[in-house]
Structure 1
Amino acid sequence: MKKKDRKLITGMLLTLAALLVGGFVIPVDVGAPSDTRTILDHSTQEYVSPSCIDEAEVTNYLQETNYGHALTLDYEPESGCSVDYYQESDVPLIVATLKTIGIVDQKWSAEDMLRNA
């Protein structure tokens, strides 16, 4: 093997190792899928996660829909509880990628999804 080829292979392996290590070190936030169940309060123009509804201060003008629709309407989260529910913080980049493509389970299960909203 030529010296030039060895340098090229060594450089590629070092780059791959750096990307792999960086993927486990770089934290990212993962947002909920757009079809995650959400409750809208049209009076206050806020959204609430189903798990936070008991503590939420909401009016009677409610609608069950999905998270994507709430974002489309530009509604704000009702509380920190809803923010925490719809965001998964400080997930390593590689794990976030695996969750996005479905290899690793996400925080949100199939029961949290709303179909045909």
Structure 2
Amino acid sequence: MIHVSSSKSHFSNQYFFRADSFYLAFHPGDRSTPGNTRVILDHSLQWVVTPPCFNSAKVTNNLTESKLSRAEKLQYKPDSTCTEESLAGMKQTLFQILLEKIGAKKGVWDW
């Protein structure tokens, strides 16, 4: 009986796994805004404002700082196009997300 080595198929499977992992790490995927993103709530107008848009916002003095998940629960609406755009989901690679998680890169919604 002759035994044929399967080293070639092992190599091709290993190569495929590495190529697939590389693709997953660096291929952009859709990412939605995390629920723990910091926002400002205007309780009088029932609006949500993001910090980058606060200086141009027309809000009352009935404000609290909160998280996006709370604004969604209260069904508050964005105060402006600026807030809508700053809360919009975006494409990010797993590598970019990993860099944000370990603190090597500032997060998109870290304001």
TM-score (norm 1): 0.66
CA distance in 1 between partners of 2:40 and 2:33 (Å): 17
Q: Tell me which residue corresponds to 1:26.
A: 28
Identity of aligned residues (%): 26
Q: Deviations over 1:55-109 (max 9, x none)?
A: 2232343222233322332322222212333456222232123323434332355
Equivalent residues, number:
108
* CA distance 1:98–1:45, change in 2 (3 Å): same
**Structure 1 spans left out of the alignment, 5+ residues:** 113-117
Q: Tell me which residue corresponds to 2:53.
A: 52
Task: Map 1:1-117; keep pairs closer than 5 Å.
Answer: 3-29=5-31, 31-32=33-34, 34=36, 36=38, 38-87=39-88, 89-109=90-110, 112=111
* CA distance 1:104–1:9, change in 2 (3 Å): farther
CA distance in 1 between partners of 2:76 and 2:5 (Å): 60
TM-score (norm 2): 0.68
Q: Could you say what the CA RMSD is over the residues aligned between the two structures, in angstroms?
A: 2.8
Q: Aligned partner of 1:7: which letter?
A: S
**Structure 2 spans left out of the alignment, 5+ residues:** none
SS at structure 2 position matched to 1:54: helix
Greater CA radius of gyration, 1 or 2?
2
CA distance in 1 between partners of 2:5 and 2:35 (Å): 49
